[in-house]
Chains A and B, each alone.
Chain A
Amino acid sequence: MTDTNEFSKDKPLLEIRGVSKKFGDFIAVNNVDLDIYQGELFCLLGGSGCGKTTLLRMLAGFEKPSSGQILIDGQDMSEVPPYKRPTNMMFQNYALFPHMTVEKNIAFGLEQDGISKAEISDKIDSILKLVELQDYKKRRPQQLSGGQRQRVALARALVKQPKLLLLDEPLSALDKKLREQTQFELINIQDKVGVTFVVVTHDQEEAMTLSTRIAVMDRGRFIQTGTPTEIYEYPRDRFVADFIGSANILDGKVVSNLEGTIEVSTYLGKFAFKSNSNISEGSDLFVGLRPEKISISKAASKSKNITGYIDDIGYFGDYSIYKVRLDEGKIIDVTAQNQKRPKNAKDRLTYEDKVNLNWDNSSAMLLLK
């Protein structure tokens, strides 16, 4: 799995080298390494307690690493307090100053740098234009809606043009519609401004939409790092395959491993993978097959002979999930877009229908144990 990062130029903007963080006996972040390049929108993705927020706070300077180094633009940040770092953070609860207007909130960071009043005023106007809140300058945070507060928080952090913008669950407080809208706005803004973003989130859809690259974290470690496509189509192991999207996981045994091709046998047949892993014959691993890669139809398939009965249906309007019961009692998940409106009963798939499944073997995923 190669690193197809379009951003890797010369030196990385952010280097995390062997960083760990312990709270007493509990290891929150376990010896992680990472390079992030200028212009990226990088996501730290993981469930609660995986250490992503702790790592973000170490980048901002609110926690000190127990070991390891953090370098921004080649400069070691170990002794640098948060108010001297070239980073700015957008907090999960926005942390807007309630006793200041929107204008004063945004001006605050600029005032610390000793910038002239006139210049501050200009910068505020342009950043408010960027987040589309020009008319709300004189309001206080309590007088703003959730979405508006989020934009003020973003403006306040961005106006200082930091080298690194750190966002802690930026969309978690918004409702679904607003979230979708804001996702695209965030990407646009990042494009325009060119600042490097590091986003922490537990929402894998959010990570997939926003990021140029994702790092999946679990229990303080990076499990896999790569572009959204890499992570989705070529997950490293079962954890990542399960965490991002959904997958049918098949038990597999290695039949042969010759000249870069691994053959694996499962109850759904043999799969061949191009891989330079030197896993031995007879080893156990998993084969993953994503539900959308499987086609389902009442018509007989030409290539495969996998049949089953529809055990359960989840109807989502634009697509449906079918739980298909195979001969041995195993259940396979298949998703299908509801492209055409079913005209009659023959067209519609319903419970206990006998169906044929088909897929391209090359869309299967090799998952280490």
Chain B
Amino acid sequence: MHNERSGFLTFMLTVGLAFLYIPMVLLVIYSFNYSKLVPVWGGWSTRWYKVLFESPEVWEAVRLSLQIAFINATFATMLGALAGLAMVRFGKFRGRTLFGGMLVAPLVMPEVITGLSLLIFFISLKELIGWPLERGFTTITIAHITFSLAYVAVIVQARLTGMGVSLEEAAADLGAKPFKVISSITLPRLAPGLLSGWLLAFCLSLDDLVIASFVTGPGSTTLPILIFSRIRLGLRPDINALATIIIIFVAILVAIAAYIMLRQQRRELIDQQMAARGDV
């Protein structure tokens, strides 16, 4: 499958990539548009960035979203790692089908359903035990952890399947108890997967609109909720500015990740050469 690419395929590839990126490029360009009417060009300006930075609701929303995203990512990674470990390494156990189903469902289910069910759950819970009194930070975080952990579990399962079980067996053979095996062998080897899982959960939380809308309460406005309420009414250049900032932020993260990966590959090459030489 690795021969050359035909002309048609290259054409489709270019068209596809253009399709994916041109809207975002335009978004960035128009953030520098002087005119208030977004698509009408009025000259270069950075005034919308100023407007953005001087808007307290935006800062508040950013702060809330980042907090939620951080806590969500951390807990989701821990729970998802355990879940992924169980699915791959534990063979058949009681309740495995149900467990596996609960790990897949959040990935495909429409968010309105998840959001609705969680909101109703929180309200019923309040009726029953008096908690949670107010919906907002806590409920959003719980909701996010619930679906994020499914994504992390997918990543962890993929990496574990590729990793093979012989190292863990070797550790057990050498006397390491099960929890020691996990902490000394499994987790360190899983580390890159856990990192990508954490980043993914972080971004998913930062970006979630529907579920957060359902389970939030008065006074807790996340960034997506803020953006949505503003763009429903039409195009706004300060949103373009916000979009540009986010895009640049993500691009930098990705560049760092790519750089790390490249360095890792080069390191492996050097190691192989050293091994082949065989001397000290």
Q: Which residues of A contact B (CB under 8 A)?
A: 60-62, 81-84, 87-89, 91, 93, 95-99, 108-109, 112-113, 135-136, 139-140, 142-145, 148, 156-157, 160
A97-B167, A143-B274, A148-B278 as given contacts; A83 in contact with B172, CB under 8 Å: yes
Among B166, B173, B178, B275, max chain A CB count under 10 A is at: B173
A140-B271, A143-B271 as given contacts; A91 in contact with B174, CB under 8 Å: no
The answer to whether A109 touches B169, judged by C-beta atoms less than 8 angstroms apart, is no
Residues of chain B lying within 8 A (CB to CB) of residue A144: 275
Question: Closest approach, in angstroms, between the C-beta of B6 and any C-beta of chain A?
Answer: 38
B177 at interface, CB cutoff 8 A: yes
Pick the residue among A84, A91, A156 that contacts B166 (CB under 8 A): A91
B40 at interface, CB cutoff 8 A: no
| Interface flags, B247-280, vs A, CB<8A=1, else 0 | 0000000000000000000001001101110101
The answer to whether A95 touches B166, judged by C-beta atoms less than 8 angstroms apart, is yes
Among B166, B170, B172, max chain A CB count under 10 A is at: B170
Residues of chain A lying within 8 A (CB to CB) of residue B169: 60, 62, 82, 89, 91, 95
The answer to whether A142 touches B268, judged by C-beta atoms less than 8 angstroms apart, is yes
What are 14 A-B pairs at a CB distance below 8 A? Answer: A81-B172, A83-B175, A95-B166, A95-B170, A97-B167, A97-B171, A98-B189, A108-B176, A109-B175, A112-B177, A143-B274, A156-B170, A156-B174, A160-B175
Residues of chain B lying within 8 A (CB to CB) of residue A135: 280
The answer to whether B174 touches A108, judged by C-beta atoms less than 8 angstroms apart, is yes
B217 at interface, CB cutoff 8 A: no
CA distance A160 to B172 in the complex (A): 13
A83-B177, A99-B188 as given contacts; A145 in contact with B276, CB under 8 Å: yes
Residues of chain A lying within 8 A (CB to CB) of residue B278: 145, 148
A135-B280, A144-B275 as given contacts; A112 in contact with B176, CB under 8 Å: yes
CA distance A160 to B171 in the complex (A): 13
Q: Which residues of B contact A (CB under 8 A)?
A: 166-167, 169-178, 180-181, 184-185, 188-189, 268, 271-272, 274-276, 278, 280
CA distance A62 to B176 in the complex (A): 14
Instruction: Give the top 4 A-B pairs by smallest Cβ distance, nearest first.
Output: A109-B174, A112-B175, A95-B170, A142-B271
Residues of chain B lying within 8 A (CB to CB) of residue A136: 280
Residues of chain B lying within 8 A (CB to CB) of residue A91: 166, 169-170
Q: How many A-B residue contacts, CB cutoff 8 Å?
A: 78
Residues of chain B lying within 8 A (CB to CB) of residue A140: 271
CA distance A145 to B174 in the complex (A): 23
Question: Closest approach, in angstroms, between the C-beta of A218 and any C-beta of chain B?
Answer: 26
The answer to whether B166 touches A93, judged by C-beta atoms less than 8 angstroms apart, is yes
CA distance A60 to B271 in the complex (A): 32
Residues of chain A lying within 8 A (CB to CB) of residue B167: 95-97
Residues of chain A lying within 8 A (CB to CB) of residue B171: 97, 108
Residues of chain A lying within 8 A (CB to CB) of residue B178: 83
A136-B280, A142-B268, A148-B278 as given contacts; A88 in contact with B189, CB under 8 Å: no
CA distance A140 to B185 in the complex (A): 15
Residues of chain A lying within 8 A (CB to CB) of residue B271: 140, 142-143
Pick the residue among B174, B180, B188 that contacts A88 (CB under 8 A): B174
- Return the chain B residue nearest A148 by Cβ: B278
Question: Closest approach, in angstroms, between the C-beta of A212 and any C-beta of chain B?
Answer: 24
Question: Closest approach, in angstroms, between the C-beta of A142 and any C-beta of chain B?
Answer: 4
Question: Closest approach, in angstroms, between the C-beta of B269 and any C-beta of chain A?
Answer: 10
Question: Closest approach, in angstroms, between the C-beta of A197 and any C-beta of chain B?
Answer: 15
CA distance A310 to B78 in the complex (A): 73
CA distance A357 to B271 in the complex (A): 58
Residues of chain B lying within 8 A (CB to CB) of residue A99: 188-189
Residues of chain B lying within 8 A (CB to CB) of residue A157: 173-174
CA distance A192 to B19 in the complex (A): 70
Question: Closest approach, in angstroms, between the C-beta of A87 and any C-beta of chain B?
Answer: 7
CA distance A146 to B56 in the complex (A): 62
- Return the chain B residue nearest A108 by Cβ: B174
CA distance A60 to B169 in the complex (A): 10
The answer to whether B173 touches A89, judged by C-beta atoms less than 8 angstroms apart, is yes
The answer to whether B173 touches A87, judged by C-beta atoms less than 8 angstroms apart, is yes
CA distance A148 to B274 in the complex (A): 12
- Return the chain A residue nearest B273 by Cβ: A143
Residues of chain A lying within 8 A (CB to CB) of residue B174: 83, 88, 108-109, 112, 156-157, 160
Question: Closest approach, in angstroms, between the C-beta of A112 and any C-beta of chain B?
Answer: 4
Residues of chain B lying within 8 A (CB to CB) of residue A113: 175
Residues of chain A lying within 8 A (CB to CB) of residue B272: 142
Further contacts, 15 of them, CB under 8 A, given A62-B172, A112-B176:
A82-B173, A83-B173, A84-B175, A87-B173, A89-B169, A93-B166, A96-B170, A97-B185, A108-B174, A109-B174, A112-B175, A142-B272, A143-B275, A148-B278, A156-B174
Residues of chain A lying within 8 A (CB to CB) of residue B173: 60-62, 82-83, 87-89, 157
Among A112, A148, A160, max chain B CB count under 10 A is at: A112
A135-B280, A144-B275, A148-B278 as given contacts; A82 in contact with B188, CB under 8 Å: no
CA distance A112 to B278 in the complex (A): 31
A142-B268, A145-B276 as given contacts; A83 in contact with B170, CB under 8 Å: no
- Return the chain A residue nearest B184 by Cβ: A108
- Return the chain A residue nearest B174 by Cβ: A109
CA distance A109 to B176 in the complex (A): 7
CA distance A69 to B176 in the complex (A): 24
Question: Closest approach, in angstroms, between the C-beta of B21 and any C-beta of chain A?
Answer: 37
Residues of chain A lying within 8 A (CB to CB) of residue B274: 139, 143
CA distance A98 to B271 in the complex (A): 12
- Return the chain A residue nearest B185 by Cβ: A97
The answer to whether B172 touches A82, judged by C-beta atoms less than 8 angstroms apart, is yes
CA distance A1 to B127 in the complex (A): 83
Residues of chain B lying within 8 A (CB to CB) of residue A139: 274
Question: Closest approach, in angstroms, between the C-beta of A26 and any C-beta of chain B?
Answer: 17
CA distance A81 to B177 in the complex (A): 9
CA distance A83 to B180 in the complex (A): 11
Question: Closest approach, in angstroms, between the C-beta of B229 and any C-beta of chain A?
Answer: 48
